C-alpha cells in the first residue's frame, strides 16, 4: 500500500469541465509535488510546495491550478484542459523540499475528450 | 546535451544474469543520485540512493557512483523476471528543489 494516496485513480473529462485531483500523505512530509507523465517518458515536474507554499512552478499553463490547504493535502484543479493534457498525474512527497527520496502516489490517469 | 542521460534501451538479459544500467549527468554540482523502478502502469518506486563515490549494495542491487567521471550505475545481480521494468535515474544538485530524471531504460529479464 502506498503512503501517498491519490484520488481519483481514473478521470475522464471534457475540455469544458472543471475537476480536481487530490493527494494526501500522513508521513509528516513538508514538501509535496505534482508530476505529469506521458507514456514511455519520465515524470515531468509541474509544481513543488514547501511548507504549504508554492516553491516551484515549472511554467505550467494556468489551466492547471495547484492548492495546498494544509501540510497533508495537495490538490490540482483542472479547467479547460486540452487533449494533450491526457497523462498520468503523479503526486509525491518528501520530508523537506531539499530532501530525497520522494514517495510517489499511484497516480491519476486523466483522459481529456 | 541532456542533463541526465541513460543508456538507450531496451535492455534484455537472461534470468540469473547481471543487468547493468548506466547514467551520466552534466551538472558537476550534483550531490544526490537515485534509481527508481517503474513497472508498466505503476508509479515510480525508489530502490537505491547514493551520495558518495564508490559502491552501495542493497541485496541484489549495487549502485556505483563516480563523481569525477559524472556517472552513476545500477547493477542487478541474479536478475529475475520480476525485475523487468523501466529504471529511472534521478540527479539532484545541493539546494536544488528538484531532481532531474533521465529518460529511463527499459529492462526485460527473460526466463
What's residue A31's pLDDT? 92
CB contact under 8 Å between B95 and A98, yes or no, is yes
Distances (CA, A) of A41 to A6, A13, A79, A85: 20, 23, 24, 14
Longest Cα–Cα distance of chain A, Å, equals 38
B37: closest CA of chain A, how far (Å): 11
> Nearest-CA neighbor of B7 among B21, B17, B18?
B21
Among the residue ranges A49-63, A65-79, B73-87, the one predicted with the least confidence is A49-63
Percent of chain B predicted with pLDDT > 90: 81
Average pLDDT over residues B83-94: 92
Q: How would residue B23 be classed by pLDDT, with cut points 50, 70 and 90?
A: very high
Question: Is B92 at the interface with chain A, CB within 8 A?
Answer: yes
Q: Is the dihedral of CA A51, A53, A56, A57 positive or negative?
A: positive
> For residues A21 and B75, what is the distance between their CA atoms, to the nearest angstrom?
37
Q: How would residue B2 be classed by pLDDT, with cut points 50, 70 and 90?
A: confident
CB contact under 8 Å between A101 and B103, yes or no, is no
What's residue B111's pLDDT? 93
- What tens digit of pLDDT does each residue of A2-59 get? 699 999 999 999 888 899 999 999 999 999 999 999 998 999 999 999 999 998 888 8
Find the CB nearest B46 among A98, A101, A107.
A101
Do the Cβ atoms of B10 and B105 come closer than 8 Å?
Answer: yes
CB contact under 8 Å between B88 and A98, yes or no, is no
- What tens digit of pLDDT does each residue of A50-71 get? 999 998 888 899 999 999 999 9
Do the Cβ atoms of A99 and A2 come closer than 8 Å?
Answer: no
Overall size of chain B counted in residues: 111
> For residues B83 and B12, what is the distance between their CA atoms, to the nearest angstrom?
11
> For residues A87 and A44, what is the distance between their CA atoms, to the nearest angstrom?
11
A104: closest CA of chain B, how far (Å): 6
Find the CB nearest A42 among B46, B94, B102.
B102
Distances (CA, A) of A99 to A50, A72, B49, B93: 11, 17, 12, 11
Which of A21, A41, A43 should we substitute to test contact with B (largest number of B Cβ atoms within 10 Å)? A43
CB contact under 8 Å between A105 and B95, yes or no, is no
Question: Is B98 at the interface with chain A, CB within 8 A?
Answer: yes
Residue B83, classed as helix, strand or coil, is helix
| β partners of residue B87 | B37, B105
- What tens digit of pLDDT does each residue of B30-45 get? 889 999 999 998 999 9
Amino acid at each position: 500500500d502506498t503512503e501517498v494516496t491519490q484520488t481519483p485513480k481514473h478521470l475522464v473529462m471534457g475540455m469544458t469541465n472543471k475537476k480536481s485531483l487530490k493527494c494526501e500523505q500522513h508521513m509528516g512530509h513538508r514538501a509535496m509535488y505534482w508530476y505529469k507523465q506521458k507514456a514511455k517518458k519520465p515524470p515531468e515536474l509541474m509544481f513543488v510546495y514547501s511548507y504549504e507554499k508554492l516553491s516551484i512552478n515549472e511554467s505550467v499553463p494556468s489551466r492547471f491550478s495547484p492548492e495546498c490547504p494544509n501540510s497533508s493535502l495537495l490538490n490540482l484543479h483542472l479547467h479547460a484542459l486540452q487533449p494533450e493534457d491526457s497523462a498520468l498525474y503523479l503526486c509525491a512527497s518528501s520530508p523537506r523540499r531539499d530532501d530525497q527520496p520522494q514517495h510517489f502516489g499511484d497516480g491519476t490517469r486523466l483522459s481529456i475528450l | 546535451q541532456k542533463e541526465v542521460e541513460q543508456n538507450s534501451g531496451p535492455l534484455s538479459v537472461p534470468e540469473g544474469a547481471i543487468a547493468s544500467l548506466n547514467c551520466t549527468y552534466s551538472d558537476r554540482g550534483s550531490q544526490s543520485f537515485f534509481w527508481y523502478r517503474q513497472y508498466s502502469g505503476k508509479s515510480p518506486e525508489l530502490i537505491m540512493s547514493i551520495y558518495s563515490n564508490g559502491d552501495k549494495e542493497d541485496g541484489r542491487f549495487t549502485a556505483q557512483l563516480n563523481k569525477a567521471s559524472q556517472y552513476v550505475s545500477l547493477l542487478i545481480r541474479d536478475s529475475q523476471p520480476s525485475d523487468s521494468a523501466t529504471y529511472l535515474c534521478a540527479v539532484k544538485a545541493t539546494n536544488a528543489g528538484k531532481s532531474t530524471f533521465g529518460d529511463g531504460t527499459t529492462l526485460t529479464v527473460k526466463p
